């Protein structure tokens, strides 16, 4: 969620509280005190939002963490492609020597 979306959500919650208050007054809840009902509804919304935030933190689904995962996956893919291209550009004898050094092939096997 971006900052702009968070601000819009805050304005929407504020408007929802005001609208709920107005509807309660129009609905005849004078004795019940619609301010308490609107406050209770707003408190419920805030508690649900806070619980969802904590669940995202615990589950690792925060925006920064997601961006970092996507960036790391793209970086790893690019690095692998670059290493493969550099390996393919080597002469066959150097490829064989490198593979022997890292233990990918035996010294007496075919490439």
What are the phi and psi torsion angles at 20 (to 5°)?
-65, -40
Measured distance CA(22)–CA(90) in Å, rounded: 76
Q: Per-residue pLDDT tens for 13-25? A: 888 877 877 777 7
User: What three-state secondary structure class fits 101?
Assistant: helix
Measured distance CA(41)–CA(75) in Å, rounded: 45
User: What three-state secondary structure class fits 111?
Assistant: coil
Considering only CA atoms, give the Rg of the chain. 30
Measured distance CA(60)–CA(43) in Å, rounded: 26
Q: Per-residue pLDDT tens for 29-75? A: 666 666 677 778 789 989 999 999 899 888 877 788 888 888 999 99
Tell me, yes or no, if the pTM score tops 0.85.
Answer: no
Measured distance CA(63)–CA(49) in Å, rounded: 16
């Amino acid at each position: 969620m971006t900052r702009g979306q968070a601000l819009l959500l805050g304005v929407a919650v504020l408007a929802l509280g005001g609208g709920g208050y107005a509807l309660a007054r129009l609905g005849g809840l004078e004795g019940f005190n619609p301010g308490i009902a609107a406050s209770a509804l707003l408190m419920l919304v805030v508690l649900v939002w806070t619980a969802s935030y904590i669940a995202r933190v615990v589950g690792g689904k925060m925006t920064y963490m997601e961006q970092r995962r996507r960036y790391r996956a793209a970086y790893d893919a690019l690095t692998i492609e670059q290493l493969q291209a550099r390996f393919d550009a080597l002469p066959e004898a150097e490829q064989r020597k490198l593979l022997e050094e890292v233990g990918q092939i035996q010294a007496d096997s075919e490439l």
